[in-house]
Amino acid sequence: MRVAGEVIVRVFELCSAIVRPGVSTAEVDAKVEELIRSSGNRPSFKGYCGFPASICASINEEVVHGIPGDRVVREGDLLCVDVGVIHQGWHADAARTYAVGSISAERDALAEATAAGLNAGIAAVQVGHRLSHIAQAVEAEGRRHGFGVVEQYVGHGIGTALHEEPQVPNCMTPALRRNDMVLRTGLVLAIEPMFNLGTADTRTKSDGWTVVTADGKCSAHFEDTVALTDNGPEVLTRKDAHERIWIGSARSSS
């Protein structure tokens, strides 16, 4: 899973270089798939439940599961690239939101808070903590800024399958109160907050995949695969523990 995570780090370096106004999400997908396959590994998403691409590309009001295609990103957009890699049967899964050119202060604040939510969730991955520690840490970052914290989509265990038990919610839910697992060494989780400028509610578009905000306002999403070791959380999908995952480019207007 570390090796799969290292490939994802390289995918995000590639995306940082190629996500510019005028690039289509299909072009990003093609270049990412080429990188993954040339590393001798396979994309986790392609063919998963029939998903047609190697990345999910979700722009602005798209929360998750956007299908890459001819749509071109424009100055001011937020583009989330979500990607999974399989190395010798083991998965890693992560997502980054990118600013396309210069973006509004409002969108910058949204993405910054979502990245902070992920960091807070990772810090809560400690032996003896429970899933609710993660959920509360993530949720607090979103609420502090008044953003909608998406409840309908959650993080997950990950290993020889892309999605394993347990579910990892981004906020406290009745289901989490009933099944609040204790975290132990060896557990590997994908933590993935989604925060919205407006309502937390979502709907799925007619393509059967793309999840959008119910009010059409912007969303941001970050994800990392995190292993719980005897020394605390180890993030498998970052270059190092100090990597900054959001580098905004806010302009003054909002």
- Using DSSP, state whether 77 is helix, strand or coil: coil
Give Cβ neighbours of residue 156 (< 8 Å, ≥ 6 apart).
163, 164, 165, 166, 167, 168, 189, 190
Nearer to Mg ion by Cβ, of 115 and 190: the residue is 190
* Contact between 13 and 19 (Cβ < 8 Å): no
* Closest approach of Mg ion to the CB of residue 128, in Å: 25
* Closest approach of Mg ion to the CB of residue 43, in Å: 13
Rounded Cα distance, 12 and 95, in Å: 9
Among 73, 110, 122, 190, binds Mg ion (CB under 5 A): 190
* Closest approach of Mg ion to the CB of residue 105, in Å: 29
Rounded Cα distance, 153 and 169, in Å: 8
Beta bridge partners of 94: 83
What totals of helices (H) and strands (E) does the chain contain, helices first?
5, 15
Binding mask 57-96 for Mg ion (x = CB under 5 A): ------------------------------------x---
Rounded Cα distance, 62 and 104, in Å: 17
* Closest approach of Mg ion to the CB of residue 236, in Å: 13
* Closest approach of Mg ion to the CB of residue 223, in Å: 5
Nearer to Mg ion by Cβ, of 11 and 109: the residue is 11
Nearer to Mg ion by Cβ, of 109 and 222: the residue is 222
Nearer to Mg ion by Cβ, of 187 and 190: the residue is 190
Contact positions vs Mg ion (CB under 5 A): 93, 190
